[in-house]
Amino acid sequence: MNMQTKPVTDPSAAATRASILTLTNLVKTFGTYMAVDGIDLAVADGEFLTIVGPSGCGKTTLLRMLAGLELPTSGEIALRGQVINDLPPNRRPTCLVFQSLALFPHRSVGENIAFPMKMKGIAPEKRRARVEELMALMRLPAHYVDRNVMRCSGGERQRVALARAFAYDPEILFFDEPLSALDYKLRKELEKELKDIHKETGKTFIYITHSLEEAMVMSDRIAVMRSGRMLQVGTPEEIYTRPQSRFVAEFMGEVNVFPVRRAGDGMFDGTRIPGRFQVAGDPAAEGFIIVRPEAMRLVAPGETVENRIEARLYNSYSLGSRMQFRLNVGEDHLIVEQLRAGGPMPDLDREVSIGWDSRDAIFVEA
């Protein structure tokens, strides 16, 4: 069971691989409720795909169909070109890591990891060797092999669940928010470990999360869902810097939104926040200009900037190495974020100018 056969070392590598899983017009209804609405998607062999979206968007239903726990209402799920809609979970080369982990509380770490191999009839000595290999891969101390799993910490139990999933030797691993119950520090540690494990094993990961940080840190590609549909699929860089809708832009982090209409000469007038703005390209007549907080800055008197508006500095927030400022423009507020410079902080409750370059603005129609 060589786990080093096809490591993916960067996101572009996944894009060049053949598809391992293909979804064609996939639909799932519950009575009159449309949970998954006509999804088309190709997952590359060996990639790390993360599906994000608000509660009720259909991502968990989609994952359950891929794992064989739900039957599609219509459409096709194909594994390496073979339709597997009706194939039961135990006959699919896949494994689902549940949010609850579903470990056997009365068994040891080693027994939990070895369980899939025992069910396959693998000899005890081979099971033991494989358990040791998987424990090393998951950064579990070797002497934990005989420890009751309930004596392990939350992070250690998470690693045991991952090791057990790999013991099935699946081609695809599905993850249903496995880190959501962990504290922040441990979650950040395991995010990096999961990405490292993905690189080392070359397995295909399909991951569901509510955490945008998890999606940005770990993924080769991110798929954003809403109301049963996939609105956009792309690399973290594409999703963050080139969102195709206002929903995707706002879902992937804090943004400043300016409703605008075309004013001529390549300029736009703000319809809520006063100002005349530039944006790169040739966008439609009306829509929204999206500017990320880190792309905006406080503008010094006399400084030349492509886009400028006046605002009142309402408050400041320390984010460690960065500072975030909230500014009010009438009833609207804007967010500016910048690296901590070490100099004096600007005074609150005063009028300031903020600006940004047109290349940093994103125009969307909806």
More confident residue, 12 or 355: 355
Q: What is the mean pLDDT of residues 226-236?
A: 96
Shared domain for 335 and 214, answered yes or no, is no
Q: Label residue 70 by pLDDT band (50, 70, 90).
A: very high
- pLDDT(353) > 70: yes
Shared domain for 150 and 48, answered yes or no, is yes
CATH of the domain at 95: 3.40.50.300
> What does the buried/exposed string (b/e) look like for 247-266 if buried means 16 or more CB atoms within 10 Å of the residue's CB?
bbbebbeebbbbbbeeeeee
Q: Collapsing DSSP states into helix, strand and coil, what is residue 80? A: coil
Least confident of 182-191, 206-215, 290-299: 182-191
CATH of the domain at 340: 2.40.50.140
Q: Is 30 within 8 Å of 41 (Cβ atoms)?
A: no
- Residue 335 CB contacts under 8 Å (≥ 6 apart), including other chains: 254, 256, 293, 296, 324, 325, 326, 327
Domain containing residue 259: 254-364
Domains contained in the chain, number: 2
Shared domain for 72 and 95, answered yes or no, is yes
CA–CA–CA angle 81, 86, 87 (5° rounding)? 70
- Locate 181 and state its tokens: 């119950």
- pLDDT(205) > 70: yes
pLDDT of residue 5: 36
For the chain, what is the mean pLDDT? Answer: 89
Q: What is the mean pLDDT of residues 268-275?
A: 87
Shared domain for 266 and 335, answered yes or no, is yes
Q: Label residue 15 by pLDDT band (50, 70, 90).
A: low
Residue pLDDT, tens place only, 324-344: 999 999 889 999 998 887 767
Phi and psi of 76, rounded to 5°? -135, 145
Shared domain for 140 and 186, answered yes or no, is yes
pLDDT of residue 144: 96
Shared domain for 233 and 316, answered yes or no, is no
Residue pLDDT, tens place only, 133-188: 999 998 899 999 999 999 998 889 988 998 999 998 899 999 998 888 778 888 88
Last residue of a domain, one of 230, 246, 262: 246
CA separation for the pair 182, 213 (Å, rounded): 14
Q: What is the mean pLDDT of residues 281-307?
A: 87
